[in-house]
Structure 1
Amino acid sequence: MLCMTQVPPQETASKPELLTAKEAGEALGGVSDETVNRWARDGRIACITLPSGQRRFRREVIDAILAGNTAA
């Protein structure tokens, strides 16, 4: 029988939570994923672009926007 190693909880906790455009839009109060992607293209919201071209948005950036920190 093979035993798979589990990742310790402290390692997973330090990784940032990444959201899809749809999830980011929902967190921002129902903004469409098209709008979130347009904001990313325009440089209005920071994102990570995957090799596939899809964008991911850090939870802390979304939270900063919700808190009124427009510098995020």
Structure 2
Amino acid sequence: MPDVSPELDDLLKPREVAELFGVRTTTIARWAREGKLSPLRTPGGHRRYSRAAVRQLLAEQADPHEVERQIAEDAARLYEQGWSIRQVAEKFDRSYGAMRRLLRKQVTLRNRGGTFTDIYPEDRI
């Protein structure tokens, strides 16, 4: 990785990049390993990302709403196949709470015991 040479104002911390994309910093680190983003290094060894490179990647990304819709569908499918909320959250690099909220909009959540929540009272079944 090259040492930092652009102006410091033109560089973003991993946390700032993650906020722009709506992902976790671990996702930014993975993107760096995959070559999607090339980090620069400060003299102290910290990673920084050029604002121009981040803008370019943002422009290349698909419509964020489409990406979220696809994640919601894929997450719901995995959950319905028996994955736990925690497993699905880890798969999509989301927090447990965020994934639970997303899944609640897509499917009927199982109770912790693994059975589905009763939607109707027993006398109506």
TM-score (norm 1): 0.62
Question: How many residues are treated as equivalent by the alignment?
Answer: 55
Q: Over aligned residue pairs, what C-alpha RMSD do you find?
A: 2.2
Give 1 or 2: higher helix fraction: 2
Give 1 or 2: higher strand fraction: 1
Q: How many percent of aligned residue pairs carry the same amino acid? A: 35
Q: Are 2:31 and 1:39 aligned?
A: yes
TM-score (norm 2): 0.38
Distance across 2 between alignment mates of 1:58 and 1:33: 16
- Structure 1 stretches of 4+ moved >4 Å: none
Which blocks of at least 5 consecutive residues in structure 2 are unaligned? 1-5, 62-125
Which blocks of at least 5 consecutive residues in structure 1 are unaligned? 1-13
Question: Could you tell me which of 57, 64, 71 is aligned with 2:49?
Answer: 57
User: Rg larger in 1 or in 2?
Assistant: 2
Q: Are 2:27 and 1:27 aligned?
A: no
